[in-house]
């Protein structure tokens, strides 16, 4: 199977069913290479009661597919807690040529997410959002981006210029990550058999290799890992690029409270990826909680875990409990 075809097929494992939802408004937060990027904003039933705390929702899809449009009903339930939701479109690795001549590789994805956060802060008054109470939540690849967003507050090298508003910070105050990668160089090490993994993350046509544009013959994430200590190019530059994509790289005591959920039988992203981030956060003194769900694979968890996520954001974004 060809590289992109295979990557697209395995990317389906990163996707979760979406439910249609009423869109309050959709805004263009940036234009890259002549192509607009959007944020889909949902406000609670009484928007005039704002300014509202806001959760930035980041969709999954292995960084190569997925959409910001249409949200889980369980995510939209945040609205019942008085919390607005902003679902962010970001550039995908499969969209080469759609956003200019450059390939869509890391750190484009986090540049876009941070650009959306800055846009929402700059427009907070108009949009009835409270810029001092922003959270981030994502699943799979979106969980990875939410975690990077949380740990990399103030990291200039990941800020980018997408959408401008560079006078605004892109930090968030609480993070929930469902079954997202956190340490790509240790991804293969974390696979346990059983359950095994349906992805060969080290292959040159894997979704992770695509993320860094290292997809030719004799390339791939596995080659980078094997040569990461060699002081020659391209291994120095690309090894640093992979490290820059790991939320663990940026963990420090200033990071926001973080809630991690992962299935013990996940055959796409091994659960030890979430454990690694949890261990790093707690070692730094950051408030963190992890829940490993027995028997669960790479799919949305049972309803009680969404309810706990709602409670987590309600507590840390400082909004009164819902009725």
Tens of each residue's pLDDT in the chain, 323 residues:
333 334 434 444 444 433 333 447 999 999 999 999 999 999 998 766 789 999 999 999 999 999 999 898 999 999 999 999 999 999 999 998 899 888 899 999 999 999 999 999 999 999 999 999 999 999 999 999 999 999 999 999 999 999 999 999 999 999 999 999 999 999 999 999 999 999 999 999 999 999 999 999 999 999 999 999 999 999 999 999 999 999 999 999 999 999 999 999 999 999 999 999 999 999 999 999 999 999 999 999 999 999 999 999 999 998 654 43
* pTM as predicted: 0.92
Nearest to 144 by CA among 310, 302, 303, 277: 277
**How confident is the model at residue 13, as a pLDDT?**
41
Measure the CA–CA gap between 213 and 93, rounded to whole angstroms: 9
**How confident is the model at residue 48, as a pLDDT?**
65
**How confident is the model at residue 256, as a pLDDT?**
98
Asked if 33 contacts 99 with a C-beta cutoff of 8 angstroms, the reply is: yes
**How confident is the model at residue 101, as a pLDDT?**
84
The DSSP symbol for 300 reads P
**How confident is the model at residue 2, as a pLDDT?**
38
58 three-state secondary structure: strand
C-alpha radius of gyration, the chain, whole number: 18
Nearest to 144 by CA among 176, 120, 188, 171: 176
Q: How many CA atoms lie within 13 A of 315 on its CB side?
A: 13
310 three-state secondary structure: helix
Measure the CA–CA gap between 61 and 67, rounded to whole angstroms: 8
244 three-state secondary structure: helix
**Looking up tokens 């740990």, which residue turns up?**
151
Sorted by where each begins, the domain ranges of the chain are 11-184+248-316
Fold adopted by 11-184+248-316 = Rossmann fold (3.40.50)
């Amino acid at each position: 199977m060809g590289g992109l075809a295979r990557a697209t097929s395995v990317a389906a494992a990163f996707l979760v069913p979406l439910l249609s939802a009423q869109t309050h408004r959709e805004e263009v937060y940036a234009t890259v290479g002549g192509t607009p990027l959007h944020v889909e904003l949902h406000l609670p039933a009484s928007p005039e009661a704002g300014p509202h705390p806001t959760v930035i929702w980041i969709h999954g899809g292995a960084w190569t597919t997925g959409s910001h449009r249409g949200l889980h009903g369980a995510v939209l339930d945040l609205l019942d807690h008085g919390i607005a939701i902003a679902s962010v479109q970001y550039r995908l690795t499969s969209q080469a040529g759609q956003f200019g001549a450059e390939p869509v590789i890391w750190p484009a994805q986090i540049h876009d997410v941070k650009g959306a956060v800055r846009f929402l802060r700059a427009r907070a008054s108009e949009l009835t959002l409270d810029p001092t109470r922003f959270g981030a939540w994502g699943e799979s690849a979106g969980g990875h981006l939410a975690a990077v967003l949380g740990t990399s507050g103030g990291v200039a090298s990941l800020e980018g210029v997408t959408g401008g508003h560079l006078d605004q910070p892109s930090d968030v105050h609480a993070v929930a990550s469902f079954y997202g990668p956190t340490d790509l160089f240790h991804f293969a090490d974390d696979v346990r058999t059983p359950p095994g993994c349906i992805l060969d993350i080290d292959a040159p046509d894997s979704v992770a290799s695509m993320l860094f544009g290292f997809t030719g013959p004799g390339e791939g994430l596995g080659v980078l890992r094997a040569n990461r200590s060699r002081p020659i190019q391209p291994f120095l530059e690309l090894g640093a690029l992979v490290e820059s994509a790991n939320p663990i790289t940026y963990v420090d005591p200033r990071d926001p409270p973080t809630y991690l959920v992962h299935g013990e039988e996940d055959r796409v992203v091994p659960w030890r990826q979430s454990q690694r981030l949890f261990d790093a956060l707690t070692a730094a003194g950051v408030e963190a909680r992890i829940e490993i769900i027995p028997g669960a694979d790479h799919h949305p968890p049972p309803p009680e875990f969404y309810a706990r996520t709602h409670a987590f954001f309600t507590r840390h974004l400082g909004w009164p409990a819902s009725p």
